[in-house]
């Protein structure tokens, strides 16, 4: 194959010009792409550019354009308030800064100490608690009791003593846990009714025998029965009232004067809604039950039979034979011997009288005297 310059020009003239133009277009496009990529690369730092050579620092104008906060003239302002919008009240304007100050900033942590829990409000005293002062009774208040079921109650006191009008104290032994209303009723009963009865006996009251007060149980301690007033701290069982002279008024003692017990009966039935004693049931034969149960139409129950005193005469039945006494047969022999001696003593006297009678009357055989 031969090669020559004129032949090459004649054969490849057009194609050469076309190839050179295509190469120039390709170079221009490549340069454009390189410049575009360089501009885009300036926006993002290269992950492998350790010394920061690949990404030049932006100029001040570019920095201000990217950070609007540094250029206050370009911060967008809110739209003006429309005229038909309701005007903000002064109260809302005053509350807004307070809410802003109360809420902690999300950027700054709340370093203030947590607010201490406010103490619970004190419970207001009831009218009964205000009336039951230390001049009437020693009865400190105790917390409310919330027992199982409906047991317990509110406005409770521990009745320790009752203060008489002459400032003497009647101790409640043991101290009774009662509702304030029940404790007040017991105090009034002792002060106004029982003190005159004790005065008529020439003495005063010293102690109150508390047989039972608050106890979470059914009536008469029967399992499954209706809740007793004792379970509501609304009842008191009294067995006796002790006097200062050493004696006591046994409310169910039949040796006590009937008149005294009847006076006590009338006083408690007038003050309490329930009175149970001897004759009501066999559970109350040795004490008196008092409570303030609420019933329909203020119905009251007073069941207490004041029995007559026991007779003071000896029993009519013979006394039992003591064990050390001799048998009846042995005890009867001396009596028979004494009877024989009596017959022997009577026989000579009879013969003598018969001899005297023989002088005037004929002789008759002697007969044995019957006893």
> pLDDT tens, 48-107?
555 555 555 555 554 444 555 555 556 777 788 777 777 655 444 455 444 444 455 545
> pTM value?
0.54
> pLDDT tens, 252-303?
998 888 999 999 999 999 999 999 999 998 889 999 999 999 999 999 999 9
3-state secondary structure of 52: coil
- Count of C-beta atoms within a 10 Å radius of residue 247: 14
Q: Are 183 and 132 in contact (CB under 8 A)?
A: yes
> pLDDT tens, 122-167?
778 899 999 999 999 999 999 999 988 889 999 999 999 999 999 9
Tokens of 304: 């207490």
Q: What does residue 133 show for φ and ψ, rounded to 5 degrees?
A: -90, 175
Chain mean pLDDT for the chain? 76
Choose among 241, 242, 238: nearest CA to 304: 238
Torsion of CA 219, 220, 224, 228, to 10 degrees: 20
For residue 218, give the DSSP letter. Answer: B
């Amino acid at each position: 194959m031969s090669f020559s310059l004129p032949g090459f020009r004649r054969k490849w003239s057009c194609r050469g010009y076309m190839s050179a133009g295509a190469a120039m277009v390709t170079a221009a496009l490549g340069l454009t792409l390189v410049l575009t990529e360089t501009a885009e690369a300036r926006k993002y730092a290269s992950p492998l550019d350790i010394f920061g050579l690949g990404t030049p620092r932006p100029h001040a104008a570019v920095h201000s354009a990217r950070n609007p906060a540094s250029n206050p003239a370009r911060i967008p302002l809110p739209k003006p308030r429309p005229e038909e919008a309701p005007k903000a009240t002064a109260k809302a304007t005053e509350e807004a800064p307070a809410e802003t100050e109360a809420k902690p900033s999300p950027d700054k942590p709340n370093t203030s100490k947590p607010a201490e829990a406010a103490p619970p409000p004190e419970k207001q005293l009831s009218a009964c608690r205000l009336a039951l002062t230390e001049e009437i009774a020693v009865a400190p208040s105790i917390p409310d009791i919330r027992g199982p079921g409906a047991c317990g109650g509110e406005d409770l006191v521990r009745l320790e003593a009752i203060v008489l009008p002459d400032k003497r104290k009647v101790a409640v032994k043991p101290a009774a846990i009662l509702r304030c209303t029940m404790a007040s009723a017991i105090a009034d009963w002792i002060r106004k009714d029982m003190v005159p009865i004790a005065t008529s006996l020439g003495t005063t009251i010293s102690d109150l025998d508390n047989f039972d007060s608050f106890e979470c149980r059914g009536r008469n301690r029967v399992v499954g029965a209706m809740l007793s007033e004792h379970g509501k701290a609304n009842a008191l069982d009294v067995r006796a009232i002790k006097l200062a002279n050493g004696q006591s008024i046994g409310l169910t003692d039949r040796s006590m004067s009937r008149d005294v017990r009847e006076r006590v009966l009338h006083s408690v039935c007038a003050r309490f809604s329930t009175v149970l004693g001897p004759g009501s049931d066999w559970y109350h034969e040795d004490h008196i039950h008092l409570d303030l149960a609420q019933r329909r139409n203020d119905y009251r129950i007073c069941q207490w039979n004041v029995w007559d005193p026991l007779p003071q005469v000896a029993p009519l039945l013979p006394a039992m034979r003591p064990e050390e006494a001799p048998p009846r047969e042995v005890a009867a022999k001396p009596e028979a011997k004494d009877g024989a001696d009596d017959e022997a003593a009577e026989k000579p006297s009879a013969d003598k009288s018969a001899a005297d009678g023989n002088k005037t009357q004929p002789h008759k055989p002697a007969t044995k005297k019957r006893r």
